[in-house]
Amino acid sequence: MWRAMTREDTRSHPMPSAPRLFFVTGETSGDLIGARLLRALRRRHGGDLAIAGLGGEAMAAEGLESLFDPAELSLFGLTELLPHLPRILRRRREVLSAIERFRPDAVIGIDASAFFRSVSKGLSRRGDPAARILYKAPQAWGYWAWRAKPLARLYDAILALLPFEPEFFARYGAQARFIGHPAIDAGIAAADGAAFRRAHGIPAEATLLVVLPGSRRGEVSRLLPIFREVVARLAVGRTGLHVVLPTVTSVAEAVRSGSADWPVPVEIVTGEAARYAAFRAADAALAASGTVTTELAIAGTPMVVAYRVSAVTGMVAHRVSRVEHVSIVNLVMDRAVVPEFLQERCTPDLLVPALADLLADGEARRRQLAGLAEAVVRLQPPSGVSPSEAAADIVLEIIARRGRAAADPSRPASAG
């Protein structure tokens, strides 16, 4: 799946009219967003695309041969990043060299904002003519606002997933365009939960909890033992409790071994379709903070969000945080629709009663379901097209505009 790009790649591309696109993704969520964007680009362009860069399994299914496994970039916090810094810098050089050989019309960074920012700085210093497009802006509004200041000169476009982001970035001179959240394109609401239960032998009347300990190795190692204890306590006095653990290939073995001794029936599934069907089948979810919480909201699955990072990273984050919430639903609604248990509050003592409230068919469950539905409405794109199609239109518009500027020396090129 992963291979080094050769000089032959730059000679065997389609006709010159085919847009040449280089992708930089680092997260599982970014891989899925990139795959949807590729499909939308092909629909909107109506012709060939020449693609290269970094992507995971979903983008591989769309024809991208990744330079290396982008999971290498899935690091969070100081204690995870520092030991791997030499390798990250080496990978950055490889990416810059690959871009120089590929000569793309646009370089698109998705859900790998820190790494892509570093790559974009390198391209800027080299005077590379490719447009630079940031798909999913860094959460500067949540932590360091100064991170927004250089974005105006680094990127030709910022594609914002959240409705309040354009106003925030505008205060720092950066233009961001709200396109809606790409998870809306995933077909989550149409997934068949009843069929999932039948396929996995889970009775229709059984209580089903979906457990999501994250897609990074560090997340899984910190959260899975806590989640195991939560499940064990929930099982006491509750007959017929089943658990499904949707995961990704990069951490599947760790999830499998970490859940081998759980006291309830556990199903481990991989793949986008199985994950969404599991969401629709579940009565509630225990989830690590991340994109998956938005997917659960679209599925209409009530949830409890839990997260824990290293003590050092947690201390720094607490000191610089500018927001009260971490999950997208709560940020969009500006209130605690979803219970969040972070750092020292990420304990079974707190998680168990919060989940028990959601598993009961009472006011807490009904109130959260109403909040989730309203948040999903706010995440819809402002235009009449899907989020991925809105993103594709902007990418093609920028490429066309820069092409016209290059053909007319008297016309200034777009910023970047």
d(CA 75, CA 114) in angstroms, rounded, equals 10
Instruction: Give the pLDDT band of residue 141 (cuts 50, 70, 90).
Output: low
Once rounded to an integer, what is the mean pLDDT over residues 217-238? 94
| 286-302 core/surface letters (b: 16 or more CB in 10 A; e: else) | bbbbbbbbbbbbbbebb
Instruction: Give the pLDDT band of residue 1 (cuts 50, 70, 90).
Output: very low
Q: Is the pLDDT of residue 195 over 90?
A: yes
Residue 115's H or E segment, with its range, is helix 113-126
Instruction: Give the pLDDT band of residue 416 (cuts 50, 70, 90).
Output: very low
pTM attached to this predicted model: 0.80
d(CA 141, CA 111) in angstroms, rounded, equals 16
Tell me if 280 sits within 8 A of 299, measured CB to CB.
Answer: yes
Q: Which of 15-29, 180-194, 223-237, 356-370 bottoms out in mean pLDDT, i.e. has the lowest?
A: 15-29
Give me the numbers of helices (H) and strands (E) for the chain, helices first please. Answer: 17, 12
Q: What pLDDT does 12 receive?
A: 36
Question: For 241-287, what is each residue's pLDDT tens digit?
Answer: 999 999 988 899 999 999 999 999 999 999 999 999 999 999 999 99
Count the alpha carbons within 13 Å of 382 in the hemisphere toward its beta carbon.
10
Encoded amino acid at 47, one letter: G
Mean pLDDT, the chain, integer = 86
Beta strands in 90-247 (DSSP E): 106-110, 131-135, 157-160, 176-178, 207-212, 241-247
